[in-house]
Structures are given as structure tokens and as C-alpha cells.
Amino acid sequence: MRRRILTPSVIPGPALNVSDALIVVGVLALLAFGIFLALGAPAEVQGPEINLSPAYLPWYATFSLTRMFVAYVLSILFTLGVASAAARNQTAEKIILPILDILQSVPILSFLPVVVLSLTALLPENFALELGAVILIFTSQVWNLTFSFYQSLKTSPTDLGEASTIFRFNPWQRFRTLGLPFGAIPLVWNSMMSWAGGWFFLMAAETFTVGERDYRLPGLGSYLQSAADQANIGAILWGLVALIGIIIVLDQFIWRPLLAWADRFKVEMVESDDPPTAWFYDVWQRARVAKWWRQSVVNPLTERFDQRVAQSLRAREENASAANVSKNRIVRWVLLALVAGFLLWGAYSALLLLARVTPTEWSQIAIGAGASFLRVLVALTIALIWTVPVGVAIGMNPRLARVLQPIVQVTASVPATALFPVIVLMLIQSGGGLNLAAILLMLLGTQWYLLFNIIAGAAAIPRDLVYTAETLGLRGWERWRTMILPAIFPYLITGMITAAGGCWNATIVAEYVTFGGETYYATGLGAEIARATAAGNYPMLFGATLTMILIVVAFNRLFWRRLYRIAEERYRMD
């Protein structure tokens, strides 16, 4: 590993450019299109009655788990495809990374009304609501997965890449034998984080309302929200018990076995003395049915799929004739013309919406943006202070990880939005106020992005590197400076990018709280978005959302992206 002191000023980072502006216009066009569709949605919709009896919890848990699973499968497919394209092709990278920056900066709870209302205007209501919930959960799961896997592909060892070139691996073989194994450990840890993020926003996904429109869905999230609305502490506790039970089952039967399996892909010359273990993984490895499953199902399907992909790649190379190139150019120009037309329409529609925002509302947005920015900085600073040492300790100590991993996973997965109204009341009564409570919720919603990425980075440090540091007698700060910080730096930057986006998203639920029929809000951009959503004020919603997008994108492009380049060029396992 290269060990150098960070010098961000040496490598120039990508600045905001015309491509970024076009992508911003494209996203705004989609939002504007959705708002115009939303205006045609029914004026009044009555949601289902949520029964707070514990007997209904198994059914509600099944509904929520299904939505989470569908969203996670979509997130994994998106991650593997998009991150691979961005890491493999420089032209695609220049397009994909700005899009990812912008999309992860769009506040989830801000565009939820647009998504749901536009879907209900186009599709049957029940299907539209389920699809809207899956989309919201998907957007809370996918970005950290995609950024993490992209970072793994970009920082994979150069010598392994050269070996795959010597053996003439095709793109699929390089991906399956190099990219996917090298990214396995951070992918598993970020999958746990994605599920935690999905649980965090589950209440919003299943309890969506706009004005007189009630779009609730039966599920754990709606159960917890209904219990909070009625100030039913007993029902809240029953819902949390059910949620924690699900998390523990997933940890024992899914995540621990996956971590034990992924440990085989660490890039190291010396095997660890105490590798991660999982009782269910050990049972599965010894079971005859597992051996039959691998030999009779997995291996034949994998070989057949490899052959199909190889044949498809060869056929594509053979068909790359001049005629096909000419046809592709025509199709490309037609698509560009359609996209240009859509962008022009979107820019015009966006200007029409922004023109309806009054000067008073713009001043409220500006003041709110400043207040939220300060809260985000405070929350991220607090998160950084404690997650780095704790994440490194868990990642580098398997025994400690076996004890703390389920605790961290359960704590991260419990939706703070379920407990937040109670916390708000306690802090208000004690004189702390909503400002302190808002920072606390933002911290609870975003610190896990940092922690899970740091754990993944520390867990991926080769044992031979650790043994070498011990042999050289490196201790204290010298050990951190020459081994730990360079090793976790790419993971730390990925965590900060996703944590910053998540922190801005959390402002919407942190700065505007409803509990027991009372509404509490603090000055902030998230509160302005929440109030505009509740009132159905779409121009104000659009203006506040645009402001949040521009702040997050500018910060990512001018600061985090520069550090990303340093991580890619200087701190990789070579």
C-alpha cells in the first residue's frame, strides 16, 4: 500500500461544468414533469385503517419485508451495472458520476409527493402506491452501494488487473473474477447499511399524505407512525420489538454468513488467525444439500451463463461493421434530439414553477438553507469524531466484531423517526429545543453510513500488512498515519459522500415533527420542504428542493470529488 500524507491541493478535482448543468436541468425536468402529473391526481383519497393490535404485526412485517427485498434487489442490479460502467469506461464515468451526485442529493422525502401523485395519475392506485414505496426505499438503499462498489473497482490492485489482461479475460470474466470479489466485503457491509437506511425511511414510504390525500400502506412503518400519531407508547414498543426481531433474524441467517463467506476475498498473503465465523454458514457448508446445490444448480448455471455472455461479446465484436456503426449514429442523433427537446421543455417548465415562488418564500428558503447547512456540519463532525476509532476497532478485531456487529446493526436499523417524536417532547420540556433534537435525528440517520464504510475498510486491511506494522514496532499515531488512515481513506470518503447526502435528506423529518396532533418545526430548509409538502405548495416545494440539490452537488463536486481522486490515485492496494 502506498503510504503518503494527504495533500489535496496537488491533484486538481473536477469542477462544475456544462455537463453538470445539463444533468441538473434534466433532473429538474423530470421533477417538473412529475409535478404537472401530480396536479391531475384525485383531490381526496382515504387510506386504510391501521390496527394497532400486536396480532396484526406478522402481516404488516411481511408487507414491509417484501417491499424492502424488492427495493434491495433493484439496488443491487443497479449498483453492479452502473458502478461497473462508470469504473470501466471513462466516457460513461463523466456522465454517470454527475448523475449519481445529483440523484443522491435530491431529498427523498421531497420528491416522494411528486413520484406518488404522478404514478397515481398514470397507473392503478394500489399498484402506484406500492411502486412509489419501493422507489422511495430503493433511493434510500442504492447510492451508498453504488458509490462503494465504484470505489472498490477503481481502487482494485493494479497487478491483478494486469494479470487479467495477460490472460485475455473478457469484461465479464474481469468483473466476476476480480471486480466482484474485491468489492465483496464493502458490498456486504453497505448492504447492511442499505437495509438500515430502508428501515429509517420505511415510515415515510408507508404513511405518505398530501393535504386531504391519504396514501398509507399496511406495514411496519405505518403501524409505528399510527402509534406515534396516537401517542400509543405500548404499540410503539410492540412495533420496535417486531422490527428488532426481524433485524436479528436477518443478521444470523443472512449478514453473518455473508461476512464469513466474503472474508475469503481479502487481498492478503497471510490468513487471519481469527477470521469471521457464522454458525449458520458452518452448518450450510457441512450440509449435503449445500454440496448438491453447488454442484447441481449453481455451478452448471454459472458455467452456462459465462458461455452465453462470452458468445454475446464475440457476436458483438463480429457485428461491429460499418453499416451497424452508421445505424447506431442515426439512433444516437435521434435520441440526442429527443433528450434536447425534453431538456428545453423541462427548463421552461422549471422556470414557470420558480416564477410562482414569491420573494418572501425565497428569503425563507435562503435562511432555512443556512440554518440546515450549519446543522449538517455539526452532525457530520460529531459522526466523524466517534465513527473512525470505533469503526477501525470493530473492523480490525474479529472478536469485537462478533459482539458489536449485531448491536450496531440493530441500533442502525431501528428507525429514529419512530422514537423521534418522544425525544422531541423530552428535549422541549427540558429546554433543549427542537434545534438540538434536529441535530440528534440527523446524526442518528447519517452516522451509520460512515461507520459501516469504515468497518468495511478496516476489515479489508490485509493481515500481512498488520503483521508487518507490528514487526516494525509501529504504535499509536505512527501506526494510524502509515497504515490505518491510508487503508480506510477511500472508504472514509465514500462514507462521507453518502452521509452528507443522507444528512440533508434527514433534515426534512428532523426539522418538522408531528406527534399527538401537535406540529413542531425549526427554521431550516428541511422544514420548508415538509411544510410545502403538507400544504401542497408545489412551487415552494420545487424551489426548496432545487436549493438543496445545488448545495449538495456543489459541495460534492468542489470538495468530496477531489478527495475521491486522491483516494483512487494514491491509496490503493498495490
The mean per-residue pLDDT over the stretch 293-307 comes to 82
Q: Which one is predicted more confidently, 177 or 392?
A: 392
What is the b/e burial string over 402-420, where b = at least 16 CB atoms within 10 angstroms of the residue's CB?
A: bebbbebbbbbbbbbbbbb
- The answer on pLDDT for 427 being more than 80 is no
Q: What percent of the chain has pLDDT over 90?
A: 7
Beta bridge partners of 213: 45, 210
The predicted pLDDT at position 123 comes to: 76
Locate the domains of the chain by residue range.
63-265+356-570
- The answer on pLDDT for 85 being more than 80 is yes
Q: What is the pLDDT of residues 319-335, one digit of tens each?
A: 655 555 555 667 777 77
This prediction has a pTM of 0.74
The predicted pLDDT at position 35 comes to: 62
The mean per-residue pLDDT over the stretch 297-320 comes to 76
Q: What percent of the chain has pLDDT over 70?
A: 79
- The answer on pLDDT for 214 being more than 50 is yes
The predicted pLDDT at position 268 comes to: 66
The predicted pLDDT at position 70 comes to: 93
The predicted pLDDT at position 45 comes to: 44
- The answer on pLDDT for 271 being more than 70 is no
Rounded Cα–Cα distance for residues 515 and 519 (Å): 7
CA angle 95/100/104 to nearest 5° reads 160
Q: What is the pLDDT of residues 155-190, one digit of tens each?
A: 777 777 777 778 778 778 888 888 888 888 889 888
Give the single-character DSSP code of 45.
B
Q: Position 199: which residue type?
A: W
pLDDT band at 292 (very low <50, low <70, confident <90, very high): confident
Residues 6+ positions from 536 with CB-CB distance below 8 Å: 210, 211
Beta bridge partners of 521: 512
Q: Which one is predicted more confidently, 564 or 549?
A: 549
User: Whole-number mean pLDDT of the chain?
Assistant: 78
Q: Which one is predicted more confidently, 551 or 118?
A: 551
Please say whether the beta carbons of 396 and 457 come within 8 A.
no
Q: What is the pLDDT of residues 88-138, one digit of tens each?
A: 888 888 788 878 877 777 766 666 666 777 777 777 877 888 888 888 889
Please say whether the beta carbons of 472 and 482 come within 8 A.
no
**What are the Cα distances from residue 33, in Å, to 108, 111, 116, 335, 513?**
17, 12, 13, 19, 29
The predicted pLDDT at position 77 comes to: 93
Beta bridge partners of 519: 514
The mean per-residue pLDDT over the stretch 471-493 comes to 86
What is the b/e burial string over 531-570, where b = at least 16 CB atoms within 10 angstroms of the residue's CB?
A: bbbbebbbbbbbbbbbbbbebbbebbbeebbbbbbbbbeb
- The answer on pLDDT for 13 being more than 50 is no
Selection from 569, 563, 556 nearest residue 97 by Cα? 556
pLDDT band at 75 (very low <50, low <70, confident <90, very high): very high
Rounded Cα–Cα distance for residues 228 and 321 (Å): 64
Report the 10 Å Cβ neighbour count for 363: 10
The mean per-residue pLDDT over the stretch 515-532 comes to 77
Rounded Cα–Cα distance for residues 447 and 418 (Å): 17
Rounded Cα–Cα distance for residues 65 and 306 (Å): 32
The mean per-residue pLDDT over the stretch 209-230 comes to 75
Most confident of 25-29, 230-234, 245-249, 516-520: 245-249
The predicted pLDDT at position 367 comes to: 92
Q: Which one is predicted more confidently, 61 or 98?
A: 61
Please say whether the beta carbons of 195 and 72 come within 8 A.
yes
The mean per-residue pLDDT over the stretch 338-362 comes to 81
Q: What is the pLDDT of residues 461-479, one digit of tens each?
A: 887 788 888 888 888 888 8
- Under DSSP, is residue 214 helix (H, G, I), strand (E, B) or coil? strand
Q: Which one is predicted more confidently, 373 or 446?
A: 373
Phi, psi (degrees; rounded to nearest 5) at 208:
-80, 130
The mean per-residue pLDDT over the stretch 56-83 comes to 91
Selection from 529, 484, 534 nearest residue 506 by Cα? 529
The predicted pLDDT at position 386 comes to: 92
Report the 10 Å Cβ neighbour count for 42: 11
39-43, 67-71, 173-177, 304-308: segment of lowest average pLDDT: 39-43
Q: What's the CATH fold of domain 63-265+356-570?
A: MetI-like fold (1.10.3720)
pLDDT band at 11 (very low <50, low <70, confident <90, very high): very low
The mean per-residue pLDDT over the stretch 508-532 comes to 77
The predicted pLDDT at position 431 comes to: 56
What's the residue count for the chain? Answer: 574
Rounded Cα–Cα distance for residues 168 and 351 (Å): 52
The predicted pLDDT at position 44 comes to: 44
